[in-house]
Structure 1
Amino acid sequence: MKYKWLLLMILLFQTINSQSQKLGDLKIIDSKVLKEKRNIKVLLPSDYSTENKYPVIYITDANYNFEIASTYLTQLIKFNAVPKTILVGITQEKRWDELDVFWKENGIKFKDFIFNELIPYINTEYSTSGFNAIIGHSDGAEYNHLLMLQENNPFRGFINISENLNTDISNGISEYFKAYKGKKLFYFIASGKYDSKYRIAAGEAIENFYKNYKNTNIIFQNKLYDADHQNLLSKSLIDGISYIFQDYRNLSNYNGFKDYVKNYKGDVESIYGFTPNENRVDVDHFFVKALDTKNLELYEYIVEYCRENKIFNFLTYDRSWHYYYMGQHSKSIQYWNKTIENFEGTSPRVFYYNFKKAIDSYSILNNPKGAIEFLEKCKKVLPEYILEFDYFIAKVSYERNVEKRKGKKSLKYCWTNYKENRYFKKEDLDKLKIK
């Protein structure tokens, strides 16, 4: 079903919910490349298990932006809008040297640290899926596209917030967009209306490079926000994280439920490196669609699929209502009778509030005697509602001129034992007459 985005946006700014995500250990990496010890922040799913595989998002400038990234990611995971993901924050004290947009010695060293030390370390310490993304703001955004152009680039997701082109690498980016043939890559740029005009222009330029080639292996978006250089991070980051995981639970990618069943898990595994579990909400989307379109064949297929995979437990009462909704009245009656025989977890009160649908189905099928027989069974199983069942026996008998003896007996019972109820009043009894 549709995500509750309004509720999500309210919750994004609350404290991290421990049920969705938990802070892992603060790791210290003894880097030979940087010739120093570097602190790394790690956020793990609360139910992290080595039996599962997880995508990884890396974020530079973790000294100041790790908290907001962890908050956003936590809430997106909580609402299952993105998969359970590991977040790795790279702290920096000399960011101007390391996020070197002119690609000098320190910038290249920092790249070597990320590619050759940090990512292998995370892959060794944790159960990772092979899908890596990186978030960069300001110089971090520009540094990201320099990383992308490297031959051994390990990232397939880029969230570049406030891009720039301090160095003219237009040909390099254009050639990359033209020649890339790897697995699907996600490239998200966020620009701010109140940011530097050069940064806005850089985002537009990179967008034009992409439009020139429209490489189907690259999914690209450049989005403009009512934001300045600093608050652009807070306004765009949730969109960026959602963008790189757009193929997770994207039901619009599939031409119906059978296509979804056949391809969804394989598609996610191919793109993000893990096999998703069955999702009840996603299946429910197709199920409701089957009901709304009254597609009996699809409905039966989904019911059987859910039974085999233990996704939903369709009670006989549920199916009686479903068939009624789809206009399958013979099948609806069949399951109403199965329900009255065993109830199978359905509460008597729920049955009481809805049994009139069975009477309606009998009426549509022109089977008043069947309706009275059904109501007689209801009286035996649910004696607390005899008054209401007798009313409908009398109503069917009198209106359809059948089973007159049973009709008179039931009407007499209703007069003698009348009390306020859901279905009829005393004046309704006055209206019943033998034809």
Structure 2
Amino acid sequence: MKSVFCFLLFVFSFNIFEAQVVYEPFHSNKLGESREIKIQLPRGYNNDVKKTYPLFVVLDGDYMFEAVAGNVDYFSYWEDMPEAIIVGVNQSENREQDCLYSEQNSLPIESGANFFEFIGDELIPYMQNKYRVGNFKVAVGHGETANFINYYLLKQQPIFQGYIVISPELAPKMNAFVTDRLQKFESKTFYYLATTTNDISTIIKGTEDLNKNLSAIDNKNLFYYYDNFERASHYSVPTHAIPKALEDIFSVFHPISKDEYKDKILKLETSPVEYLVEKYQTINDLFGIEKQILINDFKAIEAAIEKKEEFQYFEDLGKLARDEYPNTLLGNYYLARFYEENGEPKKAMRTYQSGYSFEEIGGITKDLMLEKADAIKADFGY
């Protein structure tokens, strides 16, 4: 386990060198002191480009920042999640004071209330003013800070849309607070909870009780995920939980997988093309990113149309391909398939032929287009 942990740290450190990392003191009026913060910007980040990024706020930045930053950089490199900005807050000397809450009502008091306001009223506005931060924000915490990030759920208009809650040392009333609040959310909220079989006994009990309550919530706006890892310790569980949380929260951003194709697309009773459009509209709605539809995803929808022999959907797929890749053969290929499968061979032949002036893409070549046109010509004597 130790060797695996060291390897992961090496990978995270290597990835961080590729991204832009800034360490700086941040003076807080709320705290009455300066705190060191760590900021990682995406590779090739340019503040002049009109593009926004999700923001991760990482508590326990002394040891959690590198784990989150490395994973975010890795997943975004492979386009399994959007590029993101990460800010970590060092708390090694102030953790207990930062997380202080009342024994009577389990809510932040004194230094804990000040830290709560520091994050929401100072740090996040600073990041928004200085960098191209989008609407989607994720809070990450471990142990005491995992409990603390739940307080932001209780605000009337929460500043975070995603919560990565790892081995939380829950305040006495936190289970009830979180359960009640997540039942009522009217906007999409992502909540990831994790523990380990080797965790501290009180944490295991509190996390299992919270999971039981959250699993019973029926709210279409809540996207809830839970993991109980085998053998990991309380201190190593973040290395297991963080990549899993990113996979879960940003699952809609992934290219269409074999499971998504088999379990969702092939079982559709409606248009698979509409499914594809809605997938990318969801990405835009959640993350503010106008992501170009991947060729891989066009191919997945093409395969589903072929398998289910619902060839009428090739027309819509062709029109969508023309919008997404107007200078390529993709749109003409699908439209020609539509005409060919729906009894219009002459129109199919001409559409295959007319694509010759466009760029090749995704295995669709000019030779392939001409071969298909020639096959129709030979069959029908045109």
Residues 248 and 101 from structure 1, CA distance in 2 versus in 1: closer, same or farther, beyond 3 angstroms? farther
* CA distance in structure 2 between the aligned counterparts of 1:353 and 1:134, rounded to whole angstroms: 50
CA RMSD of aligned residues (A): 3.9
* CA distance in structure 2 between the aligned counterparts of 1:337 and 1:284, rounded to whole angstroms: 18
Checking the alignment, whether the CA contact within 8 Å between 1:320 and 1:331 is kept in structure 2 is: no
* CA distance in structure 2 between the aligned counterparts of 1:312 and 1:162, rounded to whole angstroms: 50
The one-letter code matched in structure 2 to 1:218 is L
Q: What is residue 45 of structure 2 aligned with on the other side?
A: 48
Checking the alignment, whether the CA contact within 8 Å between 1:186 and 1:219 is kept in structure 2 is: yes
2:151 to 132, 141, 146: 146
Checking the alignment, whether the CA contact within 8 Å between 1:186 and 1:220 is kept in structure 2 is: yes
Which one has a bigger Cα radius of gyration? 1
Q: What is residue 68 of structure 1 aligned with on the other side?
A: 67
Q: Does the alignment pair 1:281 with 2:296?
A: yes
Residues 231 and 311 from structure 1, CA distance in 2 versus in 1: closer, same or farther, beyond 3 angstroms? farther
The one-letter code matched in structure 2 to 1:76 is F
Q: Does the alignment pair 1:104 with 2:109?
A: yes
2:240 to 235, 240, 245: 235
Q: What is residue 105 of structure 2 aligned with on the other side?
A: none
Q: What is residue 36 of structure 1 aligned with on the other side?
A: 33
Checking the alignment, whether the CA contact within 8 Å between 1:53 and 1:127 is kept in structure 2 is: yes
* Greater RCO structure (CA 8 Å; 6+ sep): 2
Cα deviation, residue 328, structure 1: 7.8
Q: Does the alignment pair 1:300 with 2:324?
A: no
Cα deviation, residue 351, structure 1: 8.3
Q: Does the alignment pair 1:314 with 2:334?
A: no
TM-score normalised by the chain length of structure 2: 0.77
Cα deviation, residue 198, structure 1: 1.9
Q: Does the alignment pair 1:13 with 2:17?
A: no
Q: Does the alignment pair 1:27 with 2:21?
A: no
What does 1:353-372 align with in structure 2 at a 5 Å threshold? 365=379, 370=381
Gap runs ≥5 in structure 1: 1-8, 374-435
Checking the alignment, whether the CA contact within 8 Å between 1:16 and 1:74 is kept in structure 2 is: no
2:217 to 208, 213, 218: 213
* CA distance in structure 2 between the aligned counterparts of 1:276 and 1:320, rounded to whole angstroms: 23
Give the SS at the match of 2:227: strand
Provide, for residues 286-316 of structure 1, a one-character-per-residue CA deviation record: whole Å limited to 9, x for no partner: 2332344443322232223222332671179
Checking the alignment, whether the CA contact within 8 Å between 2:328 and 2:359 is kept in structure 1 is: no
Cα deviation, residue 131, structure 1: 1.5
* CA distance in structure 2 between the aligned counterparts of 1:125 and 1:113, rounded to whole angstroms: 17
The one-letter code matched in structure 2 to 1:134 is A
Q: What is residue 124 of structure 2 aligned with on the other side?
A: 119
* CA distance in structure 1 between the aligned counterparts of 2:272 and 2:15, rounded to whole angstroms: 33
1:195 to 192, 199, 223: 199
Corresponding pairs, count:
353
The one-letter code matched in structure 1 to 2:66 is E
Provide, for residues 149-200 of structure 1, a one-character-per-residue CA deviation record: whole Å limited to 9, x for no partner: 244531121101112334233332332133x233111111011011122212
2:226 to 218, 222, 225: 222
The one-letter code matched in structure 1 to 2:39 is V
Deviates further, 251-260 or 87-96:
251-260
Q: Does the alignment pair 1:158 with 2:163?
A: yes
Q: What is residue 58 of structure 1 aligned with on the other side?
A: 57
* CA distance in structure 1 between the aligned counterparts of 2:178 and 2:188, rounded to whole angstroms: 17
* CA distance in structure 2 between the aligned counterparts of 1:25 and 1:204, rounded to whole angstroms: 38
Cα deviation, residue 219, structure 1: 1.6
Q: What is residue 3 of structure 2 aligned with on the other side?
A: none
Percent identity for Structure 1 against Structure 2: 20
Checking the alignment, whether the CA contact within 8 Å between 2:163 and 2:190 is kept in structure 1 is: yes
Residues 312 and 280 from structure 1, CA distance in 2 versus in 1: closer, same or farther, beyond 3 angstroms? farther
Residues 56 and 342 from structure 1, CA distance in 2 versus in 1: closer, same or farther, beyond 3 angstroms? closer
2:190 to 186, 189, 200: 186
Cα deviation, residue 359, structure 1: 8.2
Q: What is residue 287 of structure 2 aligned with on the other side?
A: 272
TM-score normalised by the chain length of structure 1: 0.68
* CA distance in structure 2 between the aligned counterparts of 1:58 and 1:321, rounded to whole angstroms: 49
Q: Does the alignment pair 1:131 with 2:129?
A: no
* CA distance in structure 2 between the aligned counterparts of 1:324 and 1:160, rounded to whole angstroms: 52
Give the SS at the match of 1:234: helix
Q: What is residue 174 of structure 2 aligned with on the other side?
A: 169
The one-letter code matched in structure 1 to 2:293 is E
Residues 187 and 294 from structure 1, CA distance in 2 versus in 1: closer, same or farther, beyond 3 angstroms? same
* CA distance in structure 2 between the aligned counterparts of 1:361 and 1:153, rounded to whole angstroms: 60
Provide, for residues 192-229 of structure 1, a one-character-per-residue CA deviation record: whole Å limited to 9, x for no partner: 01112221221221122224432222221221111211
Checking the alignment, whether the CA contact within 8 Å between 1:291 and 1:326 is kept in structure 2 is: no
Residues 326 and 15 from structure 1, CA distance in 2 versus in 1: closer, same or farther, beyond 3 angstroms? farther
Cα deviation, residue 45, structure 1: 1.6
Deviates further, 105-114 or 286-295:
286-295
Cα deviation, residue 333, structure 1: 8.4
Cα deviation, residue 53, structure 1: 1.5
